[in-house]
Structure 1
Amino acid sequence: MPAPIRHLALGLALTLAACNGAPTGPGPSADGVDMRGASVGGEFTLTGSDGKPVSWSDFDGQYRMVYFGFTSCPAICPTDVLRMTQGLEIFEREHPELGAKVTPIFISIDPERDSPEVVAQFIDNFHPRFVGLTGSKEEIESVALQFGTSAAKEAPDESGNYNMVHSTFVTLFGPDGEALGILPADKGPEAIAAELAGWVR
């Protein structure tokens, strides 16, 4: 992802965190970003990888690790998703009961190519409880905006292939759907696991 988009997203998160004052209780490490109090997230209904409707409220009571990406991404999305899910697996091994409270979610920002079947094939490469979601162009644009995610389609090449430029961060949401923090996927699976240990109760 181009640096400006990443910096914009992290800058927004840091600004929101600064407005909240010092963290109290569980919270992020020096590698994470505190998102408590940020007005991101909220109810939606998209299409699951099995073709059935899935709503945000379906995960009430669960912590949610959310990543927006696209299945045709050559390197960044698979790497981020692998670190995200491997981090969860480490956390599950160390804290089985707490790990069961965390649901990893992938939301496609490329509905033109990412049908439920394509999303299903993608998520099958990762965590067994991985939830994959897609939808119409309008639905995806609405949810991306709601969750503070930037995404844009680049001009296709001569063969019709195109890239999606998008923000790449893993956001952790709490059991009530509230934003908690940005997980340090760039630091690797171990950092993800350590960050989850600071939040999940």
Structure 2
Amino acid sequence: MNRHAMIKTFRGLTALFLPLALPLALGACSGGGSPQQTAQRPPLEGAAIGGPFTLVDKTGRAVSWSDFDGKYRIIYFGYSFCPDACPVDVQKMMQGFALFEKAQPQLAAQVQPIFVTIDPARDTPEIVGEFAAAFSPRLLGLTGTQAQIDAAAKSFAIYHAKGKETPGGYLMDHSRTAYLMGRKGEAIAMLPVDKTKEDVAAELAKWVK
């Protein structure tokens, strides 16, 4: 092939492939967008978790889910007589919250941590209040009638049932989930209370804006 024929062939191939190659090249250069440029969607976005309830705090005052509209909410269902799981989970939850509060006090002020008992027969307003206060003055303890608790737990997809009897009294079986809920009461994410307090703080920092 002579020189002129080679040049003509090269120009023809360039004209054919350049429109296809250019977007690929630009895509390779952009890398699909940085993590900061690509908004991450909340893991529980759109999940049918959460709903209205009315319970009572340590003073017997009625507290409704709608009272926290405009604030983020952390909510955990457990019981004060729990010998192991609940204290560990709630401690991790509130230690993580404390780290987040230290780093971002203004944002933390817009978050309400809530503990709801699943054992209202034993967890009176006074007892649930003492339990919550043992972990943080920011943690709000709530109780109510069995029907109110059952309804609230169901709306948050929390399993709970009376378990076996022990010398110290009966135990309760229940889900171990700490939810982060948004300003409108929408589900955002589950906090990793099965990991470290630093992991909990990092998850709060990711979603509370």
Residue 144 (structure 1) shift = 0.5
After TM superposition, the structure 1 = structure 2 runs for residues 96-115 of structure 1, keeping only pairs within 5 Å, are 96-115=105-124
What secondary structure is seen at the aligned counterpart in 2 of 1:172?
Answer: strand
What secondary structure is seen at the aligned counterpart in 1 of 2:194?
Answer: helix
Aligned to 1:95: 104
- Hey, what's the Cα distance between the residues in 1 that align with 2:187 and 2:130? 28
- Hey, what's the Cα distance between the residues in 2 that align with 1:93 and 1:190? 12
- Hey, what's the Cα distance between the residues in 2 that align with 1:156 and 1:79? 22
Relative to the length of structure 2, the TM-score reads 0.79
Q: How many residues align?
A: 172
What secondary structure is seen at the aligned counterpart in 2 of 1:105?
Answer: strand
Q: Give the counterpart letter for 2:196 in structure 1.
A: G
* Stretches of structure 1 lacking an aligned partner (at least 5 in a row): 1-23, 29-33
- Hey, what's the Cα distance between the residues in 2 that align with 1:198 and 1:41? 21
Question: Which digits, 9 at most, give the CA deviation of each residue in 1:59-87, with x for residues without a partner?
Answer: 11111010000000011101100010110
Aligned to 1:25: 39
* Stretches of structure 2 lacking an aligned partner (at least 5 in a row): 1-37
Within the candidate set 175, 187, 191, 2:195 is matched to 187
Residue 25 (structure 1) shift = 2.7
Aligned to 1:119: 128
Aligned CA distance change for structure 1 residues 192 and 27 (closer, same or farther; 3 Å): farther
* Aligned-residue identity in percent: 49
Question: Which digits, 9 at most, give the CA deviation of each residue in 1:138-183, with x for residues without a partner?
Answer: 11111101110000001434x5710000000100000000000111
Residue 27 (structure 1) shift = 4.8
Asked if structure 2 preserves the Cα contact closer than 8 Å seen for 1:26 and 1:199, the reply is no
Aligned to 2:180: 172
Q: Give the counterpart letter for 1:48 in structure 2.
A: D
After TM superposition, the structure 1 = structure 2 runs for residues 32-71 of structure 1, keeping only pairs within 5 Å, are 34-71=43-80
Aligned to 2:90: 81
Q: Which runs of 4+ in 1 moved over 6 A?
A: none
Question: Which digits, 9 at most, give the CA deviation of each residue in 1:64-116, with x for residues without a partner?
Answer: 01000000001110110001011011001111111111111000000010000
Q: Give the counterpart letter for 1:133 in structure 2.
A: L
Aligned to 2:14: none
What secondary structure is seen at the aligned counterpart in 2 of 1:106?
Answer: strand
Relative to the length of structure 1, the TM-score reads 0.82
Question: Which digits, 9 at most, give the CA deviation of each residue in 1:38-77, with x for residues without a partner?
Answer: 0111111011122110000111111101000000001110
Larger Rg: 2
Aligned to 1:200: 208
Aligned CA distance change for structure 1 residues 94 and 27 (closer, same or farther; 3 Å): farther
